[in-house]
Structure 1
């Protein structure tokens, strides 16, 4: 626990000399449970340090499938370790000649959200690269030897650090310690909440939450989509700037200017969100897809009915799930149903056909299309799109 937090009009929390922002607590996230006739239920789990999750081995292959995946991964990691040890020797023999004036640190970031936060702060003082190729589903990503080599060559490696990136520890562990980059994990920097199935129609709790007598229950996992909170974006940006300043002090002044400009952009957009939610009492949205927006929902008091949790590998909606979403849209006269980026949208389209509502897209920030990436889209730009989607949904 971080102790008591005082509120200010913009939703920041201040504790002593600690300037870290924390999402609003005045509004409690309310989800809907399918086994309770879709009635709202209260209670958002408290903050939780990240741990290993029941969902780390999620899937539909059963025990044999999981063991095969583990054996395949172990073989891949053995080969990876050998290559990285060789690469470490090559890097040591080359060196960089010291980090002097004009030196540009190299940063590798895993997904689009953390990549864009870092590049916004770094500006021209660092070379920032996104590991996840555009248009790739982040939960299906498997690291390659080429990607591992990029990480080994980097000065700073920025990752989410959640269950969808369980390859990170194995990859870093395969590197000689002296050759590992500085590592920032977003879930360790941000203010986090635990994963919750509140409002999720196809919950995995039933499949993974039953334990045999005497079996130890696995620790709960922090929800990894921390960048969907304004406060957490600020925390990640500040940590990235500090890490780069330790690596390259010559660029600190420019990064400070970038940080001021980035914070101003966040503040302006946050005020627009506040204006929207102050203008309407409506809070219910229907998401016929994964729901990686739990921090957004808590921050603004949204009520949510969603088909799947944010990190599930199963996105085949059952008839019962589609029926529940249709019922939610019709009973509450919702103007739209949501899907997320890079989704096939089949569940949302099925709901739209039954109800006549519109299908709109919420952008989680996991990744973007190649065209968007090449055009220089930003996380703030995606959040502004989401604001307009919510404006339609809550009208």
Structure 2
């Protein structure tokens, strides 16, 4: 996919450079005053960034044009930008993106950005001190289709699964909005602080749940994009694949290992992530002694849709629901 994106970006940029003068993006024809919408344009790539920005904006949300690129359920790792996506990135005032390997196309798009005064928030850079390398734990099937060179480090992109990381990013969003719109500094700072209190309260609930749990190990018959969450609370885990893996079929060796771990640890649940077809989880359970474990789902928020947002889904509501699921699994 990366090669395809790199090959098409040149074509996309050519289209962008030709089309933007006619797109009404902060332009005016000769002798005609520009009356186009002057709202601040903020583009986020994924749902957590979008929802954090909404929380910091608060009552100011109506005064900006806030866009989430991946709003149709496409997973971050399989997203292929269209011309309109690159145009949105190129012409926005503030871009908030993860900054990992899946965002390589953005780095290329920024080199040809039409708005030279654009500000960016790269989550991986903001959270530099707490970024973790991808790891392969015991029993995990290695990604056969990976493209990492031996001398390259591969970092775990799923930083948003940590409530503590969310709080840090909200600080960065508030600071950047203050720089861009200093007249409303108090609003952004106040909204960020109020939201961070909610994050902190939920963080404490997670900590209390884990400290009083009967179990401290999660087993995923799926990809595992929750390392930041488990590390926050000292949980152990086993998984079929790493969080960024492209694999969809587990080997007999992987299935057998996970089934034996379920038996060995006396686990009553096997996890999948959202939108999984559960096939691997069902096969793992079929190979355990009891064969009666529950299949539970933790939502990694990688494919939240615009419709779900319209129906009231928020970052906090997803994390609250994930906590309920954890309580069931750990007790």
TM over 0.5: yes
Q: In structure 2, do the counterparts of structure 1 residues 172 and 124 end up closer, same or farther at CA, with 3 Å as the change threshold?
A: same
TM-score when normalising by structure 2? 0.87
Q: In structure 2, do the counterparts of structure 1 residues 309 and 301 end up closer, same or farther at CA, with 3 Å as the change threshold?
A: same
Say which of 246, 250, 264 aligns to 1:331.
Answer: 264
Indicate the SS of the match to 2:317.
helix
Q: Is 1:309 matched up with 2:242?
A: yes
Say which of 99, 116, 125 aligns to 1:161.
Answer: 99
Q: Please give the alpha-carbon distance, in whole angstroms, between the structure 1 residues aligned to 2:277 and 2:124.
A: 28
How many pairs does the alignment contain? 317
Indicate the SS of the match to 2:223.
strand
Cα offset, 1:281, TM superposition = 5.1
Cα offset, 1:328, TM superposition = 1.2
**Which residue of structure 2 aligns with residue 248 of structure 1?**
181
Gaps of 5+ in 1: 1-56, 58-68, 212-216
Q: Please give the alpha-carbon distance, in whole angstroms, between the structure 2 residues aligned to 1:181 and 1:87.
A: 19
355-364 vs 131-140, which moves further: 131-140
**Which residue of structure 2 aligns with residue 360 of structure 1?**
296
Contact kept, 8 Å, 1:199 with 1:305, in 2: the verdict is: yes
Contact kept, 8 Å, 2:44 with 2:97, in 1: the verdict is: yes
4+ residue segments displaced more than 6 Å? 95-98, 205-209
Contact kept, 8 Å, 1:84 with 1:175, in 2: the verdict is: no
Cα offset, 1:221, TM superposition = 2.5
Cα offset, 1:103, TM superposition = 6.4
Contact kept, 8 Å, 1:289 with 1:307, in 2: the verdict is: yes
Say which of 48, 57, 66 aligns to 1:113.
Answer: 48
Q: Is 1:181 matched up with 2:113?
A: no
**Which residue of structure 1 aligns with residue 132 of structure 2?**
193
Q: Please give the alpha-carbon distance, in whole angstroms, between the structure 2 residues aligned to 1:223 and 1:200.
A: 19
Indicate the SS of the match to 1:166.
helix
Cα offset, 1:200, TM superposition = 5.6
Say which of 55, 62, 82 aligns to 1:144.
Answer: 82
Say which of 304, 319, 324 aligns to 1:388.
Answer: 324
Q: Please give the alpha-carbon distance, in whole angstroms, between the structure 2 residues aligned to 1:254 and 1:208.
A: 44
Q: Please give the alpha-carbon distance, in whole angstroms, between the structure 1 residues aligned to 2:214 and 2:112.
A: 52
What is the Cα-based RMSD across aligned positions, in Å?
A: 2.6
Contact kept, 8 Å, 2:220 with 2:239, in 1: the verdict is: yes
Q: Deviations over 1:227-284 (max 9, x none)?
A: 1222211111111111111112233222122112201111111111121122125211
Q: Is 1:73 matched up with 2:5?
A: yes
Q: Please give the alpha-carbon distance, in whole angstroms, between the structure 1 residues aligned to 2:92 and 2:280.
A: 40
Cα offset, 1:129, TM superposition = 1.5
Q: In structure 2, do the counterparts of structure 1 residues 75 and 221 end up closer, same or farther at CA, with 3 Å as the change threshold?
A: closer
Q: Please give the alpha-carbon distance, in whole angstroms, between the structure 2 residues aligned to 1:378 and 1:114.
A: 11
Q: Deviations over 1:101-146 (max 9, x none)?
A: x964221111112111111111232332110023222211000001
Say which of 72, 76, 83 aligns to 2:15.
Answer: 83
Indicate the SS of the match to 1:327.
helix
Say which of 23, 27, 31 aligns to 1:93.
Answer: 27
Q: Is 1:273 matched up with 2:206?
A: yes
Q: Deviations over 1:189-248 (max 9, x none)?
A: 012121111246112389778x8xxxxx42313211111222211111111111111112
